[in-house]
């Protein structure tokens, strides 16, 4: 079976750095994806880690440790527009379907 | 450039009625997916299709059916709607199953369905 754990809520101020952790248990692990979803909107892809280590894309970075079944999303120089839900989603199964956790609601305060 | 379109945007439906949610993509992606998202929760996979002519069951397939007659369209049908199917439905697509090397799926804007 699959299980994912993320914090349900995180609050930070503009300009700060925040880390959203994800621990997982999946069968046939391929990697870890991260998606962002604003209220009322569609999820959008942020990053994907196939291998251990850090992937950097602008203000966002994502990290994976396969041995620890753990990953995190790091958001730097927070902006108000970063207020959204963030989901870790490992692909699994023969079709590499995404399994989404319940997500982390990030609130950025002025 | 449309990407993925879904119709209708929202719908209120009486229980027991049949409903088809439409999804069309113009990116020539091979794989397509249907998810439901209940209030405050993550997305759950209903059905998927790795390529035209094939479909598979996801995590919560009961009460739903899909077809994939061509590359672009992937309709989701509720044969006899029940209140527990009240949710926001997202269609997604990816170039290859799972999203390829970068595992990226592209999502439509969603359909908000209320079953009374």
Give the total residue count for chain B. Answer: 116
Disruptive mutation site among A37, A43, A62 for chain B (greatest number of B CBs within 10 Å):
A43
Q: Give CA angle at A53 (A107, A1), nearest 5°.
A: 75
Are residues B103 and A103, on separate chains, in Cβ contact within 8 Å? no
Question: What's the alpha-carbon Rg for chain B, to the nearest Å?
Answer: 13
User: Residue A95 — pLDDT band, cuts 50, 70, 90?
Assistant: low
The yes-or-no verdict on residue A3 having pLDDT over 90 is no
pLDDT at position A27? 73
Are residues B101 and A30, on separate chains, in Cβ contact within 8 Å? no
Of B48, B102, B110, the CB nearest to A95: B48
The yes-or-no verdict on residue A91 having pLDDT over 90 is no
pLDDT at position A99? 84
The yes-or-no verdict on residue B113 having pLDDT over 70 is yes
**Pairing between strand B111-115 and B10-13?**
parallel
User: Residue B96 — pLDDT band, cuts 50, 70, 90?
Assistant: confident
Q: Which two tokens stand for residue A99?
A: 């399994």
The yes-or-no verdict on residue B100 having pLDDT over 70 is no
Give the total residue count for chain A. Answer: 110
- The position carrying tokens 């989701």 is B76
Mean pLDDT score across all residues of chain A: 91
Mean pLDDT score across all residues of chain B: 92
Distance (Å, rounded) from C-alpha A31 to C-alpha B101?
10
The yes-or-no verdict on residue A63 having pLDDT over 80 is yes
Over pLDDT 70: what percentage of chain B? Answer: 93
pLDDT at position B67? 97
DSSP E strands, chain A: 3-5, 9-13, 18-25, 32-37, 44-49, 53-57, 60-65, 70-75, 84-89, 91-92, 97-98, 104-109
pLDDT by residue (tens digit) across B36-94? Answer: 999 878 899 999 998 999 999 999 999 999 999 999 999 999 999 999 999 999 999 98
Over pLDDT 70: what percentage of chain A? Answer: 97
- Calculate the CA B29 to chain-centre distance: 14
Of B42, B44, B106, the CB nearest to A103: B42
- How far is the CA of A82 from the CAs of A23, A44, A73, A109, B104, in angstroms? 22, 12, 13, 10, 20
Q: Say if residues A40 and B39 touch (Cβ distance below 8 Å).
A: no
pLDDT by residue (tens digit) across A31-43? Answer: 899 999 999 899 9
Backbone angles phi, psi at A84, to 5 degrees: -175, 180
Backbone angles phi, psi at B72, to 5 degrees: -85, -30
Q: Which two tokens stand for residue B105?
A: 């799926």
Q: Is any Cβ of chain B less than 8 angstroms from the Cβ of A51?
A: no
Distance (Å, rounded) from C-alpha B97 to C-alpha B99?
5
Q: Which two tokens stand for residue A70?
A: 């753990």
Over pLDDT 90: what percentage of chain A? Answer: 75
């Amino acid at each position: 079976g699959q299980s994912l754990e993320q914090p349900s809520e995180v609050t930070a101020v503009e300009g700060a750095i925040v880390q959203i952790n994800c621990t997982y248990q999946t069968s046939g692990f391929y990697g870890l994806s991260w998606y962002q979803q604003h209220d009322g909107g569609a999820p959008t892809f942020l990053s994907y880690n196939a291998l251990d280590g850090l992937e950097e894309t602008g203000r966002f970075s994502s990290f994976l440790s396969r041995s620890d079944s753990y990953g995190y999303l790091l958001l730097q120089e927070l902006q108000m527009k970063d207020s959204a839900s963030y989901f870790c989603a490992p692909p699994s199964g023969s079709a590499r379907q995404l399994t989404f956790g319940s997500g982390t609601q990030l609130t950025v305060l002025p | 450039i449309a990407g993925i379109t879904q119709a209708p945007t929202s719908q209120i439906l009486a229980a027991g009625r049949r409903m088809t949610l439409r999804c069309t993509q113009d990116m020539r992606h091979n794989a397509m997916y249907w998810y439901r998202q209940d209030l405050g929760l993550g997305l759950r996979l209903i059905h998927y299709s790795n390529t035209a002519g094939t479909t598979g069951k996801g995590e919560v397939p009961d009460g739903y059916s899909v077809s994939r007659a061509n590359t672009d369209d992937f309709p989701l049908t509720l044969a006899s709607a029940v209140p527990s199917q009240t949710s926001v439905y997202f269609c997604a697509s990816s170039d290859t199953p799972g999203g390829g090397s970068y595992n990226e799926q592209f999502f439509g804007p969603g359909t908000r369905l209320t079953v009374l």
